[in-house]
Structure 1
Amino acid sequence: MNSLNTEAFTLFGQHILWSDAIGNSFGLVALALGRRRSLWSWPVQFLSGLILFGAFYGNLTGSAGKQAVVMVVALYGWWRWNRDRGTSADGHIAPRFATWRERAAMIAAAAAGTVAVALLFKAYPHLSWDPWPDAYIFVGTVVAMYAQARGMVEFWFAWLLVDLVGVPLNFANGYAFSGFVYVIYGALVLWGMRDWWLRSRRGPRPALEGAPA
């Protein structure tokens, strides 16, 4: 993994690490596979998280911790989609809109989680250079991936909100390639959002409120 933390190229005066370039490229592939509702989105996301963990470890410890959580959620997503992918005629996960209860729960979890993680980062400054935006991205990523694992169209909205902070934060911290990748994420998110939105209108009705996870 250390060999991946060497410079790959220079972009607009910023040095790009192999781990940053490769890990984020896999992240783009994972998101594109997510739009197609492919089960392979999850192992590719796991691999992306593993490589980026190596890129951030020892430098941005909070970002490395986020990648560890991403890998755990990727395993959950793999399990969930394996279980639920037979709910649509084409053998893939059937997109649906979240219930109002699910939306409220995710918003509440995102708000509480952001505050809790930001306070942790502030208490241990070596974990993050920018506690509040780092916490926002950390928690927002987990919420987005959870919603994706549940087949919710809202996961695209969550990713878009993460992108709005992720782009300037990565550029400010010297991870130029990550910043550019977040810009591409934004385009993929809008594309995927439209696809899942339309499919949700043709698929089965949303699950009943309060249904078990």
Structure 2
Amino acid sequence: MTVHEWASLLVQQVAETDWLQWVAVAAGVAEVLYARAGKIWLYPTGILGTVLTIYILWCSGLYAECWLNGYYFVMSVYGWWHWARKKNTPPVKASYCNAAEWWITGAIVVLGTLLLYVILKYKTPSTVPFWDAWVSATAWAGMWLLARRKIENWILLNISNLFAVPLLFYKHLPMFAALTVFLFVIAVQGFFAWRKEIRADALGTMIPGHS
């Protein structure tokens, strides 16, 4: 397709998007912006967006995507609980993965890709089962790391975004591809913001009497 044809398709999709989808997309954008800023509000907005997305996908008959968003819902609830400020307990700070967390991350990516590939290949009419599975599994791993406030979450989420953009264009979904490009940029900014926070915390611990 030419650039003009892609632009026409984008305009058509925007015109045909109902208010419920716009609310779901807005909640998703708000979730990422809150995540970049390190605000716990990322979880309630993420939960709202996920619930709406599950409903929209279910009505559209995209049941496999509903399962994936069900996972995002569970991870958002877990992340909210894990990240919440508790009495006499400081909030969870951003940090780097340790060896065990890297192993878990790798397992989520590999096993998630294989599991989803088998389901999409043999239980759905998907025409891109492997790439769909890969994009989802890397996002799974990123969500798990985000819930634990590990800076590597941005890397995993952007690996997912990087492959999702051409996949969405292939599926003639340029509006969602454009949104994914936006999320990619936000994730890059989030990585550097969290790295700055980690370095500031490390510097503080090296200064005697610093709180």
Report the TM-score range of the alignment, normalised by the length of the smaller protein: 0.7 to 0.9
Q: Distance in 1 between matches of 2:97 and 2:32?
A: 20
Letter in 2 for 1:67: N
Per-residue deviation at 1:130?
Answer: 2.1
What corresponds to 1:6 in structure 2? Answer: none
Would you tell me which structure has more strand in proportion to its own residues?
A: 1
What corresponds to 1:27 in structure 2? Answer: 28
Letter in 2 for 1:165: F
Residues 26, 45 of structure 1: 8 Å contact kept: yes
| RMSD of equivalent CA atoms | 2.4
Q: Distance in 1 between matches of 2:74 and 2:41?
A: 15
Residues 108, 140 of structure 2: 8 Å contact kept: no
What corresponds to 2:3 in structure 1? Answer: none
Would you tell me which structure has more helix in proportion to its own residues?
A: 2
Q: Over alpha carbons, which structure has the higher Rg? A: 2
TM-score (norm: length of structure 2): 0.82
Residues 63, 138 of structure 1: 8 Å contact kept: no
What corresponds to 2:38 in structure 1? Answer: 37
Per-residue deviation at 1:55?
Answer: 2.4
What corresponds to 1:117 in structure 2? Answer: 116
Higher relative contact order (CA 8 A, sep 6+): 1
Superposed counterparts of 1:19-168, under 5 Å? 19-57=20-58, 58-82=60-84, 92-126=91-125, 128-168=126-166
How has the CA–CA distance of structure 1 residues 122 and 85 changed in structure 2, closer, same or farther, with 3 Å as cutoff?
Answer: farther
What corresponds to 1:208 in structure 2? Answer: none
Residues 31, 45 of structure 2: 8 Å contact kept: yes
Q: Distance in 2 between matches of 1:30 and 1:168?
A: 23
TM-score (norm: length of structure 1): 0.81
Percent sequence identity over matched residues? 20
Q: Distance in 2 between matches of 1:65 and 1:129?
A: 18
Deviations 1:62-94 (CA, angstroms, capped at 9, x unpaired):
222211111111101110101579765xxx431
Deviations 1:82-115 (CA, angstroms, capped at 9, x unpaired):
1579765xxx431000012311221122112111
Residues 31, 42 of structure 2: 8 Å contact kept: yes
Q: How many residues align?
A: 193
Identify unmatched segments of 5+ residues in structure 1: 1-9, 206-213
